[in-house]
């Protein structure tokens, strides 16, 4: 989708900065969409110890994502579903 393609470079940049990011294409892995209850894309699911602690829906600015991750400074894992 258009918003996914716009947002993916932002998330790749964050991954290059050391954030643990997994990209999942829900068109290729429909089970992930069900497992993470994704209703629209892109969706960023923020997880800690295997449990969702927050989520962002839609393309976000890098500043917004960093703000959320900084607020959750105990972040262990993040999954982006596009």
pLDDT of residue 64: 92
pLDDT of residue 72: 62
Closest CA to 10 of 82, 76, 74: 82
Residue for token digits 């068109």?
A: 27
Residue for token digits 């900065």?
A: 17
pTM over 0.85: no
CA distance 47 to 54: 7
Is residue 73 over pLDDT 80?
no
pLDDT tens-digit profile of 2-54? 999 999 999 999 999 988 899 999 889 999 999 999 999 999 998 888 888 88
- Residues annotated catalytic, as ranges: 1, 4
Closest CA to 57 of 65, 66, 49: 65
pLDDT of residue 49: 81
């Amino acid at each position: 989708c258009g918003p996914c393609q716009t947002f993916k470079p932002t998330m790749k940049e964050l991954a290059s900065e050391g954030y643990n990011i997994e990209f999942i294409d829900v068109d290729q892995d429909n089970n992930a969409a069900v497992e993470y209850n994704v209703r629209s894309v892109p969706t960023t699911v923020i997880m800690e110890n295997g449990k969702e602690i927050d989520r962002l829906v839609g393309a976000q600015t890098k500043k917004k994502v960093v703000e959320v991750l900084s607020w959750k400074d105990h972040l262990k894992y993040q999954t982006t579903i596009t």
